[in-house]
Structures are given as C-alpha cells and as structure tokens.
Amino acid sequence: MRYTRKIELAASRQPAGGSRLGATAGLHEIFGRRHAVHTMSTKKGTRRAKPAPSVARRATIDAPSTLARDADRARADILTVATEEFAKKGLSGARVDEIAARTHTVKRMIYYYFGSKEGLYRAVLARCYENIRTLESELDMDALPPDEALRQLVRVTFDHHNKQTDFVRLVMNENIHHGEHIAHLAEIKLRNRTVIAMLRKLIGRGVTAGVFRPDLDPVELHMSISALSFFNVSNRYTFSQIFGNDMTSSKALLARREVVVDMIERWCRPDR
C-alpha cells in the first residue's frame, strides 16, 4: 500500500511513541517533494523559481489533510487485523510480526501508534466496546413504547453479538486475564455509563406505563441481556456437539433471539 509505506518512512524518523504531530511532519516532508521548487537558468546564472500560488497552497493545505487521513486509515487497518488475531489466538498467542505482515507495514509503525503489544490489545478492546455502545446510542428508544423499546434493544444486542463474534472471544480472553487490561481503560467505564443511563430512563418510562416492575435494577438488566446474547456465541460449538443442535443456522438464531427477547420482557413485567 503506497500510503502505508509513506507513513512507515515518517514513523521510522520518530522515536517509538512519538507525537502524531511529529509523524505528520515526517510525512509532510515526503509528500512535500511533489511540490519541490525548480530552478531556472538565466543569463545571470541559476535562480530558484517561485511555485505558482495554487501549487503552494496545495503544498501547505492539501498535503497535511491527506497525510492525516492516510495515518488514520493505516491505524484503522492495524486495529481491524489485530482484532482478528487477538480474538483467534489470544493476547499471548497473537504475534505483532503477523499483524504487521497482514497490514503490509512494519513492527516499528505499530509500536509507534500503540506503544507495545499490550497497548495494541487494549486499543482493540476499547474499540470493540465503543462499537456496541455507539450502536445502542443510535437507537431511538423514546420513539417506541417502553416494552417494545426493550424488545428492540434485546434484538439489536443479540444480533450484534452474533455478527461480531470476535468481540465475544475478546471478552472471554480478557476474563482469562481477570480483566487486567480493561482495568487500565478508564474510557470504557465512562462510556458504559451511557447504556446504564439509557436503561434507567427506559425502566422509569416502563414503570410509569405500568409495564415494568419498579424494583428493576438497570445494571442487572444490562447483565441479563448481555449474558443471554453472549452465551449463544461463546457456547455454540460445545452446546451443538452435546445436544446435536446447529446453533449457527438462520432458523436457530431467529428462534433463539425471540426466546431471549421474551425471557427478558417477562422478567421485567410487574406480574412476573
């Protein structure tokens, strides 16, 4: 990838963990060669010719924005591949060399962005949690009656776990480490407060409407939704082998999702 190679050159001129500004400066140097000032021969000798104003403007405006986009794209590519590697092999089994090879970059560039293998792993965790919290925040819960809004949230959560199986495996791996790395990610704790606030508001609406019991705890509700969605991915192969059920078929997933939806809604009812 051309853009990746240019970023590698810039990163190689900076110490590991250097500022992004430093990387952009290095990249600007590379791209700036496109706008090098030419020389002109005259009777008095050789003098430098001024670049056309439009070229000068592109050199100072277009190049930095392009470089920033390239850097963001390279970082996103690394995170995507690292997510697959860590989910498949765990923190100890994944290799930075393999991640570098798959992203057509070098280890130094990965360390420049993330500091270490553990830093990359933590960035992967943070992005995975951010993805599901963003998905939840995009739901217009207030537009639906509280019981239907709850059902919609459960369906979305179940589908996300089923589609993003790497997220489930990463969480399983992090629990093997007793949450050691997620403990360093204060932003996850702050971001996860949004789903609790959303559920607290939903419960309040449901209690007022008479469809939810008043002693519901939003953290317990969140845990129950997550647990039932999580199990269908984390235990699908062992459960299928033991009971002979294909838990990955479209028919099985649809049926299981509605069972989970019904279980959660019935648990929340005041007449349960």
Question: Which pLDDT tens digit goes with each residue over 56-107?
Answer: 455 455 555 676 677 788 899 999 999 999 999 999 999 999 999 999 999 9
Residue 162 to residue 233: CA distance in whole angstroms = 6
Give me Rg for the CA atoms of the chain: 26
Q: Which CATH superfamily is domain 122-268 in?
A: Tetracycline Repressor, domain 2 (1.10.357.10)
| pTM, 2 dp | 0.75
Q: How confident is the model at residue 141 (pLDDT cuts 50, 70, 90)?
A: very high
The domain segmentation of the chain, as residue ranges, is: 2-36+51-115, 122-268
* Lookup result for tokens 């092999």: 89
What pLDDT is recorded for position 21?
A: 42
Mean pLDDT of 143-156: 97
